[in-house]
Amino acid sequence: MQTTRLKKKVSITIIALTVLAFHITNVYAHTINVPSNAYFGLPDNGTYINFNPAVTLDTAYRQNNYWYFNSYGFQVENANMTITDYFTNPNYLYLTITAATGNTSTTKIYVATKDKPTTIEINNQIYYEGDNWTFDRTNMILTLTWLHSSDADAIFDWTPIQSGSPSGGPPSPSPEEVTPFIPPFVPPPEYAINFGYTGIFLLVVGSILLISMFAKARKPKTIQGLWKQKVSTNKKHRLSPWTPIIIYILFILVWFLMLRRLFLG
């Protein structure tokens, strides 16, 4: 009885391991040195992928007809693929697609977190999305279709798009830099005097002085007499009658000289 139960357990274990074996993918991990003569086959397509020059990878496995190298997946139909520079610069991937003349190859790349490339350069010609290649953002798969007349040397460029450049198209030319004219700033003088208003003030003061002198005078009729008459009420101060006129003329002269220096240097 116990022997029968043991046989059943062994049988179930063997069946389970057999089923599991059919679902295990070819997985290689932990620092793999890949020589240039190692070929990663895609049996469903009858094609292969290799690296030249040799590379060192962290992981390499095949799943759903893709070979995954360090998280990025590769598949090629109707051609073979040689990866010639595997992200030495994180923004660039170089590969060569080899097929007979007249064949149309299809290359698919799972880009993981890199998103859509900016451009793809093939045989020194730059192509943007929609021109020989498309991008499925839902599945993060880039598909390149190429009609061969020779090998296709492809460079995938993930350089960030410059600000202002349209996505998926050629970058717009940068506008010509124009330096705006900014007039020099001239600080105002520490003590600014409005000479126009000063001149008007002097003229008004002079006019009032002369009018008051003539208006209140009865005799004598000369300016000197008028001034003597005006100051006669103050016995303590005996000023020359020409004093205010001289002071006024000096004010006018200083004002004129300052204006001349200001405008004529």
30 and 148 housed in the same domain:
yes
pLDDT in tens, 161-195: 765 555 555 555 454 554 555 555 555 555 455 55
Is 18 inside a domain boundary? no
138 and 32 housed in the same domain:
yes
Average per-residue pLDDT in the chain? Answer: 74
**Total of domains in the chain:** 2
Q: Domain containing 94 — which CATH number?
A: 2.60.220
Domain boundary among 127, 157, 187: 157
Residues 82, 52: contact at Cβ < 8 Å?
A: yes
Instruction: Please say whether the dihedral angle defined by the alpha carbons of residues 32, 37, 154 and 79, taken in this order, is positive or negative.
Output: negative
38 and 151 housed in the same domain:
yes
Of 148, 55, 156, 43, residue with least CA distance to 101: 148
pLDDT in tens, 87-120: 999 999 999 999 999 999 999 999 998 989 999 9
Is 207 inside a domain boundary? yes
What does 173-201 look like in DSSP terms, one character per residue?
PPPPP-----PPP-PPPSS---HHHHHHH
Is 50 inside a domain boundary? yes
49 and 142 housed in the same domain:
yes
Is 123 inside a domain boundary? yes
Instruction: Please say whether the dihedral angle defined by the alpha carbons of residues 86, 89, 90 and 92, taken in this order, is positive or negative.
Output: negative
Between CA 94 and CA 73 the distance in angstroms is 14
pLDDT in tens, 55-74: 999 999 999 999 999 989 99
36 and 101 housed in the same domain:
yes
| Full domain range(s) for residue 227 | 195-264
